[in-house]
A = this chain, B = another copy of it.
Amino acid sequence: MVPSIKDVAELAGVGVGTVSRVINNHPTVKAETRKKVNEAIKQLNYIPNEVARNFKMQKSKMVALLLPSIWHPFFSELAYYIEDELDREGYKLMLCNSGGRPDKELYYLDMLNQNKVAGIIGITYNDIDDDVSTDIPFISIDRHFGNKNIHCVTSDNYQGGRMALQELVKAGASKVVYLGITSSAYSEVELRRQGFIDEAKEQGIECLIYEENGDEDFSDDRFFENFFKNKDHLNVDGVFANTDMLAAKYIDRAKKLDVRVPEDVKVIGYDGIQDNQLFHPILSTIRQPVEEMGRTSVKLLLRKAQGETLENEIYRIPVVYREGETT
Give the residues from 246 to 294 in chain A that come closer than 8 angstroms, CB to CB, to chain B: 248-249, 252, 255, 274-275, 278-281
Q: Closest residue of chain B to A247, judged by CB?
A: B278
Q: Is the CB of B73 within 8 A of A113?
A: no
With A51-B55, A278-B252 in contact, do A70 and B73 touch (Cβ < 8 Å)? Answer: no
Q: For A59, what are the chain B residues with a Cβ–Cβ distance below 8 Å? A: 51
The CA of A54 and the CA of B113, in the complex, are separated in Å by 14
A290 to chain B, nearest CB (A): 10
Q: Is the CB of A52 within 8 A of B49?
A: no
Interface hit among A90-98, A153-161, A171-179: A90-98
Q: For A275, what are the chain B residues with a Cβ–Cβ distance below 8 Å? A: 73, 275, 278
Q: For A249, what are the chain B residues with a Cβ–Cβ distance below 8 Å? A: 278
A29 to chain B, nearest CB (A): 22
Q: Is the CB of A50 within 8 A of B116?
A: yes
Q: Does A234 contact B (CB under 8 A)?
A: no
With A274-B71, A275-B73 in contact, do A116 and B280 touch (Cβ < 8 Å)? Answer: no
The CA of A126 and the CA of B96, in the complex, are separated in Å by 27
Q: How many residues of A contact B (CB 8 A)?
A: 49
Interface hit among A78-86, A185-193, A210-218: A78-86
Q: Closest residue of chain B to A280, judged by CB?
A: B280
Q: For A62, what are the chain B residues with a Cβ–Cβ distance below 8 Å? A: 94
The CA of A136 and the CA of B34, in the complex, are separated in Å by 31
Q: Is the CB of A114 within 8 A of B83?
A: no
Q: For A55, what are the chain B residues with a Cβ–Cβ distance below 8 Å? A: 51-52, 54-55
Partner of A71, one of B80, B94, B116: B80
Q: For A235, what are the chain B residues with a Cβ–Cβ distance below 8 Å? A: none
Partner of A73, one of B47, B65, B73, B79: B73
Across chains A and B, which 10 residue pairs bring their CB atoms closest together, nearest first? A55-B55, A76-B76, A280-B280, A71-B80, A248-B278, A50-B114, A50-B115, A95-B95, A93-B95, A275-B275
